[in-house]
């Protein structure tokens, strides 16, 4: 089995790597590129901890082959903050205590950001269904939903 050379864009940077044909994008990110913010909770697309955005679409990186990234644009949790400036979602997650163990947090943040880019004013129900593919076992989701609502309001420019 020979390796495949892949040229892609990750968080705005040109990146090249070699990967095996059966290697997932998640494994490439974590094991070859040192981007361990995406987590493997299941490897089968059921937990959302490995969420990334590929060409504008939210996906589980465990269900994408590394080879498929050729020519695409990938966004991961590592690219979410603007330098030292946290994204409003990141800040609101901290302020709302929306994380306990934190293993699901990168996936939730990537997913929530994708939601707010598409729907800046989601209802609680819309938030809950959009995030249904992200499992959290610690929080009961209450504070996560509230943090997303708060970030959405902040991004719409509404007073806190």
Partner 1 sequence: MSLDTTLQDKAFKSVGTRPTRPDGVDKVTGRARYGADFNMPGQLVARVLRSPHAHARIKSIDTSKAEALKGVKAVITSADLPDLSNGDEGLFATLDNCMARDTAKYDGHAVAAVAAIDEKTATAAMKLIEVDYEILPHVVDVDAAMAPDAPLLYDTVFTSGIEPAPTTPSNVANRAELGHGDVEAGFAAADVTVERSYKTEQTHQGYIEPHACVASCNPDGTAELWVCTQGHFVYRQKCAELLGLEVSKLRVTSSEIGGGFGGKTHVWAEPVALALSRKANRPVKLVMSREEVFRASGPTSATSIDVKIGATRDGRITAASATLRYTNGPYADMWAELGAMTAFACYDLEHVKTVGYEVLVNRPKVAAYRAPSAPMAAFAVESAVDELAAKIGMDAVEFRIKNAASEGTRSSYGPVYGPIGIGPTLQAAKDHPHMNAPLGPNQGRGMACGFWFNFGGQTCSDLNINADGTVTLAVGTVDVGGSRASLSLVAAEELGIDYQDVKAVIADTATLGYNDMTDGSRGTFSSSMATISAARNAIQIMRERAATMWDIPVEDVYWEDGHAHAAGQNHGNRAPLSVKEIAAEAGNTGGPIAGHSELVADGAGVSFATHICDIEVDPETGSSRVVRYTVIQDAGKAVHPSYVEGQYQGGATQGIGWALNEEYIYGADGRLQNPGFLDYRIPVCSDLPMIDTQILEIPNPNHPYGVRGVGETSIVPPLAAVANAVSNAVGVRMSHIPISPPRILAALADAQDG
Partner 2 sequence: MRYERPQTIEDAAALLAGPEAKSFVLAGGTDLLVRMQNDAFEADLIVDIKAIDGMDAIAETDDGFVIGAAVPCAALAEHASLTAAWPGVVEGANLIGSTQVQGRCTMVGNLCNASPAADSVPALVAADARVRIVGPAGRREASVLEIPTGPGKTSLAKGEVIEALVLPKRAAGSGDAYLRFIPRTEMDIAVVGVGVNLTVDEAGTVTSARVALGAVAATVLLVQEAADALVGSTLDDAALQALAAACSAAATPIDDKRGTVAFRKHVAGVLARRAAQAAYDRAGGK
Residues near partner 2 (CB under 8 A): 1, 4, 21-22, 24, 43-46, 48, 51, 54, 57-60, 62-65, 67-68, 70, 111, 114-115, 129-134
Among partner 1, partner 2, none, the one that 102 touches (CB under a kind-dependent 5 to 8 A) is partner 1
What is the footprint of partner 1 within residues 123-152 (CB under 8 A)? 125, 127-129, 131-146
Contact 160, 153 (CB under 8 A): yes
What is the footprint of partner 1 within residues 9-68 (CB under 8 A)? 20, 30, 35-44, 46-47, 49
Alpha carbon 19 to its chain's center: 22
Which lies closer to partner 2 via its Cβ, residue 21 or residue 158? Answer: 21
Taking the alpha carbons of 31, 32, 33, 34 in that order, is the dihedral positive or negative? positive
Length of the chain: 160
N- to C-terminal Cα separation, the chain:
55
Distance (Å, whole) CA 116 – CA 10: 21
Residue choice 4, 15, 86, 155 for contact with partner 1 (CB under 8 A):
86
Among partner 2, partner 1, none, the one that 140 touches (CB under a kind-dependent 5 to 8 A) is partner 1
Structure token digits, residue 127: 């938030």
């Amino acid at each position: 089995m020979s390796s495949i050379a892949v040229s892609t864009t990750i968080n705005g940077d040109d990146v090249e790597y070699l990967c095996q044909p059966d290697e997932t994008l998640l494994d490439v990110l974590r094991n070859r590129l040192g981007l361990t913010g995406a987590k493997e909770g299941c490897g089968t697309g059921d937990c959302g901890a490995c969420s990334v955005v590929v060409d504008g679409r939210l996906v589980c990186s465990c269900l994408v082959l590394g080879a498929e990234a050729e020519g695409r644009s990938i966004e991961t949790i590592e690219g979410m903050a603007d330098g030292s400036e946290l994204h409003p979602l990141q800040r609101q997650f901290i302020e709302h205590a929306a994380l306990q163990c934190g293993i699901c947090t990168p996936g939730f943040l990537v997913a929530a950001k994708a939601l707010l880019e598409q729907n800046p004013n989601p209802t609680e129900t819309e938030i809950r269904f959009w995030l249904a593919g992200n499992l959290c076992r610690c929080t009961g989701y209450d504070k996560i939903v509230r943090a997303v609502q708060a970030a959405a309001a902040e991004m719409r420019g509404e007073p806190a």
